Structure 1
Amino acid sequence: MSGRITVIMRSKNSAWVIGQALSGLFSQHRRDFELLLVDSGSTDATLDIARRFPCRIIQIPAREYFPGAVLNMAIQQARGELLVFQNSDVVPLAPNALERLLAPLETGQADATFARQLPRPEAHTWVRRDYALAFPPRGEPPSWMAYSLPFAAMRRTAWERHPFYEDAWGSEDTEWGHWARRDGLTVRYVPEALVMHSHNYTLRQLHGRRFIEGEADAFILRDRVSLPLFLRRLCGSWARDAQAHLLERDLPGLVLSIPRRWVYHRAYWEGHMLGERRKKSGSQDASIGQRVVLDRS
């Protein structure tokens, strides 16, 4: 079985958590995998920690990190027939998480799978609310959650049919999930595969994240943003945040939700407008979104 499964992990300055992520991975019931780590310019102890575990390491400069392209490069060097993706800040919460994730692939019930992500104990109220919606404990996730790579798997043959896209800097998993759905592949959500993963983004980090999601959606969904849609989404998210924070009696979070959701939707608008302009002009330059993210990370 050795080499049949390749786990691909991407890292950069993950020393604060990568030890937990790798310990969780190597504590799994399933150990018949190789680990391929792609590091994009870590300056902390990330690689020192990673070298304590059996893995192959690929190092690239930070400015060469484009998610879709990096994943495609890593898969080309992977030996496995089954590809597992684990972010360096994702911690498996049970020793059967990998086993559960792989089961639908090995029994022929799915072409790709993704896990249920639980927020960290220190996650903000709005983060916990969003994760509860995106990753339910049973049943199916919302329709907009097409695929999520922090802990996911797919058959190599599925990737060969459609490698990760490289048109924009982010949302490569979302694009792949939408393609799979249109092309008739089966992507299964596996709530029994439990991992811990979340971010309490600063406003600067949130701006970068949402900017590249907006740019990517212009390519993935091929839609257009409008002022009424922007205002509707802004007001709707404020209302949902207010309800969640009031239920939690989180007054500071309620106050902060006003600037946070403004940044959240304004950055998405700006990124989407960039994506629309790039589509119209035929531009292949994805570096603007990359700079927005890296400058705010």
Structure 2
Amino acid sequence: MSNELLSSWIGRSEISFDTLPLTLVRRIAVTFGEECPRVGETLPPLWHWAFFQDPVIEELLGEDGHPERGIFLPPIDGRNRMWAGGRLVFDAPLKVGIEAERHSTITDIKEKQGKTGALLFVTVKHNYFQEGQLCISEEQDIVYREPSPPKLSHVAPLKKIEWIDTVCPSSVMLFRYSAVTFNGHRIHYDHPYVTEQEGYPGLVVHGPMLATLLLSSFLKNHSELTPRRFAFRGLRPMMAGHEFKLGGYRGEGKEYVLLAFNDQGIAHQAEIEY
């Protein structure tokens, strides 16, 4: 697709609605082994990713399990799509069981050259409202990359970790997270596909799941703090059934740096302001 045609997708918008039902909140809670909030109580940070889904029939899914491009996101053929990272501002909490809406707009499309080939970055802005109030502002970075062996290079983790939690997401946990977020991407549950078609050594842990685990770990170790801003990015994949660490350290001012890492290095990095 030409740059001119790609640019024509900038400004494309849609509005989604959801009631944040308790039944789905319970399923998220058991997926992460967390306490479930009641109707009217605060939805834990980043759990909103399970809501506002726009389901499509199977005939409109691509081979990788994602909805075909061209419905909301631009139609980029011949490339793999992944959620590379994002930035969020928490203005007010979303409440369980109360109708909310999400306003989404494609704000930017850029082509870059990476180590493995051409990369196309699409930025989507989401604003979440409940009872007339803006609750969350979010920017998602979605990258389309040319098919190539996945990046599994070694990057040494930083030394000054102040706390560490150990996790080992199972294939069942990945399947359940795919289910609660209605994510059909086959790299998270279809072992023959992810190993034979996309070249990964196993099922890939979702980037949003890693971000959620990181933020949850931070809040368990800093229960007195309330997140105001959160930014995250994926650096390399983690595989189901393999143990890794969650930890972090204080940055500048009211900021912490959060890391998901194992012996091979850092997989996910986030910054949080409170």
Q: Which has the higher strand share?
A: 2
**TMscore range, shorter length:** under 0.3
Using the size of structure 2 for normalisation, the TM-score is: 0.26
